[in-house]
Structure formats: structure tokens, C-alpha cells
Structure 1
Amino acid sequence: MSAASYDEAERLGRLLALVAREDEHLLAVRQRLLGDDCDVSEARAEALLANATGIDRLESFGAKFARMQDTAVDKLIPVLLRAAGESVFAAIDNLGRLERLGLVESADDWIAMRRLRNRLVHEYIEHPADLASELTRACRFTHEMHADWLRIRQYAAEHLHIEP
């Protein structure tokens, strides 16, 4: 193995380990925020906004939701594609390639997650009805992100012989 390919494999291993931790933290904060119920009503959103603990958990969820996407899309996926001998392009094209490889369920959903991520992180959603809708979507997207992460991890282990 050349030094360059060894460095790339080492980097991929580190990124896989990082996304594994981010996935674990995202699932944990989602559980603390919403439990097992992704259906967020306006009243439930109002209750979250009514106390410091709810607001802190909401902000933590938004940050972890964004962080996992950023790491996966901007760092992990390009390195994974290069390690697999694939060309690397813009994020939307890379996601499309992963969808064709069966590693993500839907590239379009990942793009929708990015838009939602921007709303959760960069905008303070003041109206409980809007927050309820966005939290419901984000909660459901965490299930998809987790499932996609497991497929990516399995692919890296089976095809590239790299594990987190």
C-alpha cells in the first residue's frame, strides 16, 4: 500500500469513527428531546419552548443534526468515494452517486435535510406550529440518516476493509 493510500485509508477510518460518535450523540439527544415519538404537535412544541431544559435540548438537537450532516456530506462522503475509486464532485452529485450505489436511501432527502438543517440552526423558529412541523421532519430524518450511516459503515468494512 502506498503512503498516499495508507493516509487516505487512515483518514477514512478517522472520519468513520467521528460519524459513529456523531450518530450516537444525535440519537441520544433526539431521545432526550422527543423520546420515541416523532409526531410533534403545536402544544408539544410550545412545551419545549416554555422552559430552559426544552430549549437547551432543542438547540443541542439542531446542532447535532447539522454536525452529522456536515461531517458526512462535506468530509466522509468525498473520502469514501475516493477510497472506492470513484470521482468526487459537488455534494449533490456525490449524494446521487451514493444513492446509485445503494448507500443512501434518497439523495433528495439529504438535500431536504440540508435545507431543514439551515432552518433549525440558523433561524430561531418562533411559531410553535412551524417548530412542530420542522421537528417532526427532523426527527424522521434522523432515522433515515442513521440507516444510511449503517449502510455506509457496512460498505466501508466489506468493500474497503476499513472500520471505525
Structure 2
Amino acid sequence: MTTLSDEQLRLAFLIRVIDKERKQLAVTLQRLFNAPLTPERLQQLDTDPSFSEQLDAFASRFARLQDNLGDKLLPATLAALGEHKGPVLDNLNKAERFGWLESAENWLLARQLRNKMVHEYIEDLQLLADALNSAANFTPLLENFAMQLISALEQRNLLPSNSF
């Protein structure tokens, strides 16, 4: 019987969490964007608690997935591969060079959207609509990044066989 290292256990845990987050984000994305998100539709936030909860779920899931990928799985992946971990921007640039991340610049743009969705939507529905629609367009970036990191770990046999 093979004993798993703490590093392998941590990676397996992160991947299970991220896999659940990806799936939950996809469901929320499908439900929330079943019709175009416009300032007019967003006026329903005050009168439609279900719609408001969907919006909050999307913003929260988007932010949580991005946080777990960029702040947890990426540094853990770099460490598992024997790469130097640095500040977030350095790690993102390294991920882009390795081909795991389409664009570090787009990652940072998605991060700014996260902040707009969370902090600025109360006053400006156009800003909220723009941020939400842009975030929806960035969800494939998150999805692809997750799959690339997992693939990099699997290719080097750094994950237990039953990680998912």
C-alpha cells in the first residue's frame, strides 16, 4: 500500500474542491444567463429574491473558483513540480509561459470584474450588467486553467489515482 504525502493529499483535496466549484459555477451560469443580463433585467434584484440569490451565487462562485485556482492550486502545483513560488503575478506569468493559462493579463481583468461584482453593483446597474456579462465570458478561462493545472499534475503522476 502506498502512503500519500501531505502534498499529494493537499493537491487531491484542492482538485476535488475546484471540481465541485466548476460544476456549481456552470449550473449557476446557465440559470442566470438564460436571458441577457441588462440593467433593465437587473432592476428586478430588489423585487425577486431568487434572481438576487442567483446573482450572488454567480459572483461568489466565480470569485471562489478564481481564488482557489490562483491563490491555492497554482502555488501548490508549482511547488509539486519543484518550481519556485513567488508573488501571484509572477506565478500567473509562469503559468502562462508553461501554457497552463491563456493570459495572465486576462486573469487580472477577471479579478477586477470580481471586485466590481462584489462591491460596486449596488449603485450602478449598467456597471453590474457589464461586469456580470464579462465575467460570464471569462468563465472558460477559469475552466481551462483548472483543467491545465490538473493535467500537468496528472502527466507527472503527482496525484493519487482517485483524486476526483
Matched, 1:110 2:107: yes
Paired AA for residue 158 in structure 1: Q
Whole-Å Cα distance in 1 between the matches of residues 138 and 130 of structure 2? Answer: 12
Whole-Å Cα distance in 2 between the matches of residues 109 and 49 of structure 1? Answer: 32
Is contact 2:121-2:127 (8 Å) kept?
A: no
Superposition CA RMSD, Å: 1.9
Is contact 1:44-1:132 (8 Å) kept?
A: no
Report the alpha carbon displacement of residue 80 of structure 1 after superposing the two structures with TM. Answer: 0.4
Cα gap change, 1:46 to 1:80, in 2 (>3 Å): same
Report the alpha carbon displacement of residue 134 of structure 1 after superposing the two structures with TM. Answer: 0.7
Whole-Å Cα distance in 2 between the matches of residues 10 and 77 of structure 1? Answer: 15
Q: Which runs of 5+ in 1 are unaligned?
A: none
Q: What TM-score do you get using the length of structure 2 for normalisation?
A: 0.87
Matched, 1:57 2:54: yes
Whole-Å Cα distance in 2 between the matches of residues 148 and 48 of structure 1? Answer: 32
Is contact 2:93-2:104 (8 Å) kept?
A: yes
Match of 2:26 in 1: 27
Whole-Å Cα distance in 1 between the matches of residues 119 and 125 of structure 2? Answer: 17
Matched, 1:6 2:13: no
Is contact 1:84-1:160 (8 Å) kept?
A: no
Report the alpha carbon displacement of residue 68 of structure 1 after superposing the two structures with TM. Answer: 0.6
Cα gap change, 1:118 to 1:143, in 2 (>3 Å): same
Q: What TM-score do you get using the length of structure 1 for normalisation?
A: 0.87
Is contact 1:116-1:138 (8 Å) kept?
A: yes
Cα gap change, 1:125 to 1:137, in 2 (>3 Å): farther
Match of 2:79 in 1: 82
Question: Identity rate of aligned residues, in percent?
Answer: 33
Report the alpha carbon displacement of residue 9 of structure 1 after superposing the two structures with TM. Answer: 1.5
Paired AA for residue 22 in structure 1: E
Report the alpha carbon displacement of residue 146 of structure 1 after superposing the two structures with TM. Answer: 1.0
1:73-124 CA-partner distances (Å, limit 9, x unpaired): 1111111000011000001110110110000111111111111111212333
Is contact 2:29-2:58 (8 Å) kept?
A: yes
Matched, 1:69 2:66: yes
Paired AA for residue 9 in structure 1: Q
Report the alpha carbon displacement of residue 49 of structure 1 after superposing the two structures with TM. Answer: 5.3
